[in-house]
Amino acid sequence: MAVWTIARLTFRETIRRRLLLALIGMTVLVMSLTAFGFYKLVTVGDNGNPMPVSEARLVTYPILILVGFMFSGVVALTAIMASAFSVSGDIDSGIMLAMLPRPLRRAEILLGKWLGLSLIMIAYTSATALIEVSIAQAITGFQTPHPFWLAAYMSGEGVVLVSLALLFSTRLPGLAGGIVGVVLFLMAWLGGVVGTIGQALNNSAVSQIGDISRVILPTDGLWRGGVYSLEPSTVISQGVGRGLQGNPFFAPSPPNSAYLLWVAIWVITITSLAAWSLSRRQI
């Protein structure tokens, strides 16, 4: 009950403070530019001749992966910064002190914020991913192989980072928590890249760096699931043969179910830790 009250309050805050409006405005701008780019790609080919449909489809997917990479960054920054200031901001301003004496547990406040922020990230990320691949399909004819998995993996990234930044927010000032969150996100991505290079070189020690970083912070593992969702099956089979494993924008396989289970456990653990941390904090 109180969890849902706080979740609705969190959602209303993102609207009233124009965070959602700013995000949607910038997203529409990026989508318009990519739509224009796709249009020019298929209408202006070599020597001014339109690009053949089969060729256009082939070049669309890597562009979509790059666009997805950019959106992955947008999702990460939004999730981290919105969450990192969420609890710490309320504590610093005195908003928390006005709410805490009410008959609700601190864990309910934390879970309410987690739910509100997670739902916002899921809604935004899913809508953005599905609209973007639809735009690409409408203009170039490229059909994303697993659009809903793409939305799910990228939303998962958002939820993972909401959980992590909320944990930091219970103990660190918003800016400090946000910076730590961004650095960890980038380190996890870099760890994943190093791991793929290790795989390509058949160097198990280097390869393990990627595996470990994907366990500690599962954003890169989910990002690679998103990459896999965009790749046509022919590209995957040819890519493996041509040694594309070292390419950070290539994923030969999706995350397995054990890994997805780990992601769920990770989110539950970190969110529980955040609730515990808030309940122990002197306010």
Partner 1 sequence: MEVGTTDDAESISGTAIRMRDLTKAFGHTQALAGLTLDVPRGEIFGFLGPNGAGKTTAVKLLLGLLRPTSGKAWVLGAPAGDLNARRRIGYLPELFRYQSWLHAHEVMELHCELARIPRRRWKDEIELALATVDLGERAKDRVGTFSKGMQQRLGLGVALLGRPELVFLDEPTSALDPVGRHDVRQIIRDLKKGGTAVFLNSHLLSEVEQVCDRVAVVDHGHVITSGRLEDVLGAAKAIRIHATGVNSETRKSLAQFGKVDREGDVMTIQGIDEAATPALIATLVAAGASIYAVEPRHQSLEDRFLELLSGD
Q: Which residues bind partner 1 (CB under 8 A)?
A: 1-2, 5, 9, 13, 16-17, 93-95, 97-105, 282-283
Sign of the torsion formed by the C-alpha atoms of 51, 53, 56 and 58: negative
- The nearer residue to partner 1, 88 or 144, going by C-beta atoms, is 88
Q: Which two tokens stand for residue 84?
A: 């990192």
CB of 169 to partner 1, least distance (A): 17
Sequence-ordered list of residues with C-beta below 8 angstroms from that of 123, at least 6 positions apart, any chain: none
Sign of the torsion formed by the C-alpha atoms of 129, 133, 134 and 136: positive
- The nearer residue to partner 1, 3 or 152, going by C-beta atoms, is 3
- The nearer residue to partner 1, 1 or 258, going by C-beta atoms, is 1
- The nearer residue to partner 1, 3 or 227, going by C-beta atoms, is 3
CB of 81 to partner 1, least distance (A): 17
The three-class DSSP label of residue 257 is helix
Please spell the DSSP secondary structure of 221-240, one letter per residue.
Answer: HHHHHHHHHHS-HHHHHHHH
CB of 19 to partner 1, least distance (A): 11
- The nearer residue to partner 1, 6 or 260, going by C-beta atoms, is 6
Separation of alpha carbons 88 and 178, rounded Å = 11
Q: At what angle do helices 147-169 and 106-140 cross, to 10 degrees?
A: 150
CB of 99 to partner 1, least distance (A): 6
CB of 195 to partner 1, least distance (A): 43
